[in-house]
């Protein structure tokens, strides 16, 4: 199963046989059944997770007890609380599985140490982070400038797979509206 990560890395920068071995030793495989947590608010994020199967999500719970989804992570995505993972401070995010999932976990410690041994991996993560930032910026702009209906349409275009596998209320939460309002939008002709 680790091969899935290796080929993801190879898609960005080619690893030698030795380097592949090192990577294999650093990550640990883990099953995450639906509704089980990978990380909880209040803790420091020690790990980043690469999704082999299934789908995870990160979200906060606000003062009124409502959940707000920051990220979905289907197959081949990394997920963590970036803020806590990078600054090693207490986290506000929860990360759990929306479907029965299988992940690889990598600790921040290992990650930083590996950057010195395999600079290619620093490049790999630099590129992933750049892409994530670019997407995040896009999402912010959509938020600032588009009404909910258009944000929903864009979500459907961008993540057609998720539309069919995830409950609508999760998607409503991601685009920043209530499930009731999303249901209403969907009910409207065209």
Under the binding rule (CB under 7 A), the answer on residue 147 touching DNA is yes
* Rounded CA separation 172/68 (Å): 9
Under the binding rule (CB under 8 A), the answer on residue 144 touching a copy of itself is yes
Residue-wise over 26-50: b if at least 16 C-beta within 10 A, else e? Answer: bbeeeebeeeeebbebeeebbbbbb
Under the binding rule (CB under 7 A), the answer on residue 55 touching DNA is no
Q: With contacts defined by CB under 7 A, name the span among 51-59, 109-117, 118-126, 179-187 that binds DNA.
A: 179-187
Cβ atoms within 10 Å of 184's Cβ, excluding its own: 13
Comparison of 2 and 22: residue with beta carbon closer to a copy of itself: 22
Under the binding rule (CB under 7 A), the answer on residue 167 touching DNA is yes
**Tokens encoding 175:** 């685009």
Provide the 3-class DSSP secondary structure of residue 166. coil
E strand map for the chain = 28-32, 37-39, 47-53, 55-61, 67-74, 78-79, 94-97, 101-107
C-beta separation of 70 from 58 below 8 A: yes
Touching a copy of itself, residues 97-116 (CB under 8 A): 115
Under the binding rule (CB under 7 A), the answer on residue 148 touching DNA is yes
Under the binding rule (CB under 7 A), the answer on residue 40 touching DNA is no
Among 11, 29, 64, 154, binds DNA (CB under 7 A): 64
Among 7, 10, 153, 183, binds DNA (CB under 7 A): 183
Site string for DNA, 8-37 (x = CB under 7 A): --------------------------x---
Under the binding rule (CB under 7 A), the answer on residue 179 touching DNA is yes
Q: With contacts defined by CB under 8 A, name the span among 99-107, 137-145, 163-171, 180-188 that binds a copy of itself.
A: 137-145
Q: Are strands 78-79 and 47-53 parallel, antiparallel or unpaired?
A: antiparallel
Residue-wise over 114-132: b if at least 16 C-beta within 10 A, else e? Answer: bbeebebbbebbeeeeeee
Residues binding DNA (CB under 7 A): 34, 64, 66, 147-149, 167-169, 176-184, 186-187
């Amino acid at each position: 199963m680790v091969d899935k990560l290796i080929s993801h890395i190879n898609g960005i920068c080619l690893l030698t046989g030795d380097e592949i071995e090192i990577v294999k030793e650093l990550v640990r495989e883990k099953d995450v059944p639906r509704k089980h947590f990978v990380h909880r608010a209040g803790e420091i994020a020690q790990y980043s997770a690469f999704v082999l199967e299934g789908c995870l999500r990160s979200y906060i719970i606000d003062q009124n007890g409502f959940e707000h989804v920051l990220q979905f992570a289907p197959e081949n995505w990394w997920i963590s609380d970036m803020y806590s993972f990078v600054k090693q401070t207490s986290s506000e995010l929860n990360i759990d599985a929306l479907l029965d999932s299988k992940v690889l976990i990598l600790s921040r410690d290992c990650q930083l140490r590996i950057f010195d041994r395999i600079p290619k991996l620093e490049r790999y993560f630099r590129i992933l982070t750049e892409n994530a930032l670019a997407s995040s910026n896009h999402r912010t702009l959509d938020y600032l400038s588009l009404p909910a209906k258009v944000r929903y349409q864009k979500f459907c275009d961008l993540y057609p797979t998720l539309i069919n596998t995830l409950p609508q209320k999760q998607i409503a939460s991601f685009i920043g509206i209530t499930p009731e309002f999303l249901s209403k939008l969907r009910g409207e002709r065209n």
